[in-house]
Amino acid sequence: MSNVYTIAVVVGSLRKESINRKVALALADLAPANLKLNIVEIGDLPLYNEDIDGASPPAAYSTFRQQVSSSDAVLFVTPEYNRSVPAPLKNAIDVGSRPYGKSAWSGKPGGVISVSPGAIGGFGANHHLRQSMVFLNVPCMQQPEAYLGGAGTAFDEAGKLSESVKPFLQSFINAYGQWVEQHKKV
């Protein structure tokens, strides 16, 4: 029998009715039995500043780092802003990577899904995020790549996931579950 892995889900959009948050919640509902997805909030993180990250870092930094560190793997669900990741997501990556040599991200199996109302599904954000993960020693699942374009129609007015999108998300989260199983350090 498989272990159950705790997944830190980092949503790049802060908006209350974010399509990305809805996708993250849908993935949690569709997740295979070996995954337990938990959204790790990033909206209250002060901008990373080494001057305030000394002996007594902000409580938000410490909480965030502990949540990521105590997880078995990490899943990013992000929109694309100006062909890259949103500023709050980049800030969260920086906060989690400090202090130098004590990155909360290191060695955690990762996955990326970019979600956009646009046609190319956040391709630029997806790839920029992967670049950061290489440096942070997060082995990211390569296939299946996950770009959800036209995401404005992924949910109906009641917030229910479209049956046309469900198989795509199911396939992605199943593959991610296998990725975590194969790459989780014991």
pLDDT tens for the chain, 186 residues long, are 468 999 999 999 999 889 999 999 999 999 999 999 999 999 999 999 999 998 999 999 999 999 999 999 999 999 999 999 999 999 999 999 999 999 999 999 999 999 998 888 899 999 999 999 999 999 999 999 999 999 999 999 888 999 999 999 999 999 999 999 999 865
Residues 136/103, Cβ–Cβ less than 8 Å: yes
Residues 73/9, Cβ–Cβ less than 8 Å: no
- What is the value of pTM for the model shown? 0.96
Query: pLDDT of 28-69, one tens digit each?
Result: 999 999 999 999 999 999 999 999 998 999 999 999 999 999
pLDDT of residue 1: 44
Q: Is 140 helix (H, G, I), strand (E, B) or coil?
A: strand
Q: What do you get for the CA distance between the two ends of the chain, in Å?
A: 15
Distance CA 30, CA 169 (A): 8
Structural domain boundaries in the chain? 5-183
pLDDT of residue 95: 98
Residue-averaged pLDDT of the chain: 95
List strands edge to edge, sheet with 35-39.
Answer: 35-39, 5-11, 73-78, 110-115, 147-148
The DSSP call for residue 161 is: B
- Report the CATH fold assignment for 5-183: Rossmann fold (3.40.50)
Residues 92/27, Cβ–Cβ less than 8 Å: no
| Residue with token string 């080494």 | 50
pLDDT of residue 82: 93
pLDDT of residue 184: 84
